[in-house]
Amino acid sequence: MIIAVTGTPGVGKTTVSKLLSKRLGYEYVGVKEFAVERDIGEKVGDEIEIDIDELAEKMVEEFKGKNVVIDGHLSHFVPSDLVVVLRVHPRLVAERLKDRGYSRKKLAENVEAELIDVILVEALEENERVIEVDTTGKTPEEVVDEIIGLIERGVKKRVGIVDWSEAYDEVLPYLNLGGE
Ligand SMILES: Nc1ncnc2c1ncn2[C@@H]1O[C@H](COP(=O)(O)OP(=O)(O)OP(=O)(O)O)[C@@H](O)[C@H]1O
Ligand SMILES: [Mg+2]
């Protein structure tokens, strides 16, 4: 089975994906590393812009019939058996990305994306089987237990479990209202 773990930057994808793959005995694959190793995408400044169609094609080719956990905020564009969308309170996105030294603009973009469910909506447009997990106040182990529990119960879809509208005022100082 191919499991895609996606979500806003800083939500905890890499932490959870590594643990989940270990617990299930699956291979762990990071989208960025995969793309760099195979020369998919272009370097734009110090980031790489990944060609999503090429990524999906190459991953399907390599992982068909295998058990893998794919980690990355583009993983929901890769055909998979299950998409796990990790969520976290937007305040924590802000705090984590601030600690990483992200620019105000990138901070604002990502806090806003979490606030208005950008990745969830994209994932639902691309996939049938989408499971959303709120990681707020949970340990990575608890998050992985929840994911495995949902898989074992055969849950096909579980979305709409968070509503960050109440968080708006709190994260307002991080937002870049009005653009540039
Ligand atoms: N319940 C949790 N699940 C996952 N990570 C958590 C959790 N609680 C706290 N964290 C912390 O949040 C941070 C998340 O970082 P991580 O690199 O896993 O995020 P990411 O989504 O992979 O980010 P990026 O999109 O930049 O790759 C880590 O410092 C991790 O220890
Ligand atoms: Mg990561």
Nearest atom (ligand 1) to Cα of 11: 21
Q: What percent of the chain has pLDDT over 90?
A: 92
Asked whether 76 lines ligand 1 (CB < 6 A), one says no
Tell me the pLDDT tens digit for each residue of 26-66.
999 999 999 999 999 888 887 889 999 999 999 999 999 99
pLDDT at 31: 97
Of 169, 1, 171, 3, the closest CA to residue 86 belongs to 3
How many whole angstroms separate alpha carbon 155 and alpha carbon 167? 28
pLDDT at 29: 98
- Tell me the CA–centroid distance for residue 158 and ligand 2, in Å: 23
Sequence-ordered list of residues with C-beta below 8 angstroms from that of 61, at least 6 positions apart, any chain: none
pLDDT at 173: 95
pLDDT at 46: 77
The H-assigned helical ranges of the chain are 13-24, 31-37, 52-63, 90-99, 104-115, 118-126, 140-152, 168-171
- Tell me the CA–centroid distance for residue 48 and ligand 2, in Å: 14
Amino acid identity of 176?
N
pLDDT at 42: 84
Q: Report angle CA 69, 74, 76 to the nearest 5 degrees.
A: 65
Using most ligand atoms within 8 A of CB, pick from 5, 6, 11 the residue to mutate for ligand 1: 11
What is the pLDDT averaged over residues 3-22?
A: 98
pLDDT at 160: 97
Give the residue, 106 or 42, on which the prediction is more confident.
106
Asked whether 106 lines ligand 1 (CB < 6 A), one says no
* Residue owning the nearest CA to atom 16 of ligand 1: 12
Q: What percent of the chain has pLDDT over 70?
A: 99
Map out the domains of the chain with their CATH numbers: 2-174 (3.40.50.300)
How many CA atoms within 13 Å lie on the side-chain side of 84?
Answer: 31
Asked whether 143 lines ligand 1 (CB < 6 A), one says yes
Mean pLDDT of the chain: 96
Relative to the alpha carbon of 96, which ligand is closest?
Answer: 1
* Residue owning the nearest CA to atom 24 of ligand 1: 9
- Tell me the CA–centroid distance for residue 66 and ligand 2, in Å: 22
Is residue 180 very low, low, confident or very high in pLDDT (cuts 50, 70, 90)? Answer: low
Q: Report angle CA 5, 11, 13 to the nearest 5 degrees.
A: 30
Tell me the pLDDT tens digit for each residue of 125-172.
999 999 999 999 999 999 999 999 999 999 999 999 999 999 999 999
pLDDT at 144: 99
pTM for this entry: 0.97
- Phi/psi region, residue 148 (left: phi>0; alpha: psi -120 to 50; beta: rest), is alpha
How many whole angstroms separate alpha carbon 159 and alpha carbon 137? 19
